[in-house]
Amino acid sequence: MNTLEMAIEPLSVTQSIQKNGYALIPWPKHELESLAQRVMMGWNKFLAEPLESKIKWSIPSKHAEGTDNGYMSRNHEKKLDGKKHDDKEFFHYRRHLSSLLEEQNLVTGDHRQFLLDCDRLFIACRNKALEVAGHLSELVPNMDFCSMMQHPFAECRHVMRLLSYTAQPVKGKKLAEGHEDRCAFKLHVWENKPGLFITTPDKGVVEYTATPGMIATFPGAKMALITEGLLSARYHGVVGREESAGERRQSIVFFSHVEREDIKLFVLHFAPGRSLTRPAF
């Protein structure tokens, strides 16, 4: 894999997304670390629970078809397209998750603190995503992505994902297969060790390394559809960069969605080299 250095020139958010396909967004280090560390402390406590307890927190959504909530686990079983899942445990937090869990009497005292910390970070991520949406609107005439992010259907789809890869990082070995996200754009919020790679519009590959006080953002498939390719989805994945026995790679990401009343979006297939469906007006 031919890799490039992360862009360090002083570009604006819009200039960076146009040139590099991604941008770095400031987030005060002390604020982000405080929120993220509290969430990860609760997440690691939850991971230590027996599997039969964790899977009770896998709850289908009542709010939007095709969305899922709570705990999920993937191993290397094959998907419908014959490819294999990444080997990981993850947790999807949406704003209505706490009430769904409470309805089923699954929340204890420790769980309530974890969910409260998740909610605080989710709100902060959503606010940061609104900032990004404002920057993206500058690139696309007549597109108010802030309003589209606040569409009721989009609001119930925004999701914060906590990730914990089961496999130990091995230098050069993929932990997450390359893919494009379904969302409008992603925030790469926090990681405990590097590994993310992102392709650039000129088909280069950047090895992303978290910068204190900054998070990364890049477009997904829905943004490519709704802008008819003006903003292209970024192909990305995770590769081990160092041997680190005894410690999983963990991260926090936020998937932001947008909706418009006059556009119905469908994304049918996400394999490399596939054709995206176009928006139906």
Helix (H, G, I), strand (E, B) or coil at 126: helix
According to the model, what pLDDT value does residue 27 have?
Answer: 95
Give the tens place of pLDDT for each residue, 24-67.
Answer: 999 999 999 999 999 999 999 999 999 999 999 988 765 544 45
Given a cut of 60, whether residue 120 has pLDDT beyond it is yes
According to the model, what pLDDT value does residue 273 have?
Answer: 39
* Mean pLDDT calculated for residue range 208-225: 92
User: Cα dist. 23→109, 217, 272 in Å?
Assistant: 39, 5, 23
According to the model, what pLDDT value does residue 16 have?
Answer: 92
Say how many C-beta atoms besides its own lie within 10 A of residue 242's C-beta: 11
Give the tens place of pLDDT for each residue, 232-264.
Answer: 999 998 887 765 555 788 999 999 999 876 655
Give this prediction's pTM: 0.86
Give the tens place of pLDDT for each residue, 4-13.
Answer: 455 545 678 8
Residue, of 256 and 73, whose pLDDT is higher: 256
Pairing of strands 159-165, 88-93: antiparallel
User: Cα dist. 153→147, 213, 259, 279 in Å?
Assistant: 12, 31, 7, 17
Q: Confirm if 218 and 198 have CB atoms less than 8 A apart.
A: yes
According to the model, what pLDDT value does residue 255 have?
Answer: 97
Q: How many angstroms separate the CA atoms of 174 and 250, rounded? A: 14
Can you say whether residue 277 is alpha, beta or left, with left for phi > 0 and alpha for psi between -120 and 50 degrees?
beta
